[in-house]
Structure 1
């Protein structure tokens, strides 16, 4: 069950972000993907990867790899969100 939640929610988040950004401008795409990455993908995916790694090496302490994975993915999502917020719309010179 933890694996289902750990891998299922990020897959659903990717599907949802794809549906929300299909045909939208690049600014909105950055914002949506940043939010989805921060809220749906990074916590659950880091948990699932940590749990999987801990089961593979047969050591519960190895699951703490999620402590390193989560901030990296969260910061990538935050950067995407900030780029989307502060990106200027392209102006048509004609």
Structure 2
């Protein structure tokens, strides 16, 4: 049951990020998706994947893979957030 909750939270975070980013500028979308990845998607997805892998392998220690997956997802989200914050908006002169 906990595995399903983890996947559900990750999907819900992705759906909400999509809804909040719809119709926004590219810079704003980067910020929304970076925040969503760091706060909801990465922790829930790493937890669910870790438990799924542990159930498949049959060892509780195998769930420690979430200690590897979470920082990777968090750093990807942090980079996306920083891109959204520090990216320069394209003007008509640049095009």
TM-score (norm 1): 0.96
How far apart, in 2, do the equivalents of 1:62 and 1:4 lie? 18
Could you say which residue in structure 1 is the equivalent of 2:80? 80
Cα separation, 1, equivalents of 2:59 and 2:3: 17
Tell me the residue number matched to 2:28. 28
Q: What residue in structure 1 maps to residue 12 of structure 2?
A: 12
- Give me the TM-score of the superposition, normalised by structure 2: 0.95
Secondary structure, counterpart of 1:89 in structure 2: coil
Match of 1:39 in 2: 39
Please name the residue that 1:53 is paired with.
Answer: 53
CA RMSD of aligned residues (A): 1.1
Deviating more after overlay: 31-40 vs 2-11 = 2-11
Deviation >4 Å, runs of 4+: none
Instruction: Report the CA distance between 1:52 and its aligned residue.
Output: 0.4
Please give the per-residue CA displacement for 1:31-70, whole angstroms capped at 9, x wherever unaligned: 0000000000000100000000000000000000000000
Shift in Å, 1:25: 0.5
Question: CA separation in 2, counterparts of 1:87 and 1:30?
Answer: 9
Runs of 5+ in structure 1 lacking a partner? none
